[in-house]
Amino acid sequence: MTRIVLCEGDITNEEVDAIVNAANSALVLGSGVAGAIARRGGPAVAEACAAHGPIEVGEAAVTGAGDLAARLVIHAAGMPPGGQVSEASLRSCLRAALALAEREGCRTVACPAIGAGVGGLSLQTCAEISLAEARRVAEEGSALEEIRFVLFGEPAYRVFEMVNDAAKVEAQMRRLRERS
């Protein structure tokens, strides 16, 4: 059973099998989460991205994690360089990232709020799509033991918490209606 966990913190400190990078399709580590990964992971991560080359928006690629505590970095391309993240590209790149984590034998994966910073997507929309994708993976019987959303700052954490709580209440209400 896959656990979905929310926490506030810095994703670059997470001791998990893989962390997900909110990437652009060129795999250039610029600002936001990608910049933090570049700074904390050291030059090995950027070099691995450059060697991999660009990917399509909505896809994901895996590299080593350099000096990070995680074993791997999964780069989820939600936008082109300088572009914006759409609802469809977030859904697609997160789905690709979680599938790639499973193919790589990961048991634990930490994800940021992809697209809610530089990508221009609202935090509410990001939370709704991200948590729905995580629930879909969990319901399909994934080998992932934990999908951890690591949110930078209390406001981001609270939005994800609110969306997650609303989904739990909705599921409970659905179960109650089915019993009636």
Task: Band the pLDDT of 22: cuts 50, 70, 90.
Answer: very high
Residues 77, 55 contacting (CB under 8 angstroms): yes
pLDDT score of 107: 97
pLDDT score of 30: 85
Tell me the pLDDT tens digit for each residue of 123-144.
Answer: 999 999 999 999 999 999 899 9
User: What number of CA atoms fall less than 13 Å from residue 144's CA on the CB side?
Assistant: 32
**Number of domains into which the chain is organized:** 1
pLDDT score of 85: 96
Looking up residue 98, the CATH number of its domain turns out to be: 3.40.220.10
CA 173/CA 165 separation, integer angstroms: 12
Tell me the pLDDT tens digit for each residue of 48-93.
Answer: 999 987 999 999 999 999 999 999 999 999 999 989 999 999 999 9
Rounded to 5°, angle at Cα 29 from 27 and 31: 135
- Domain span at 16: 3-179
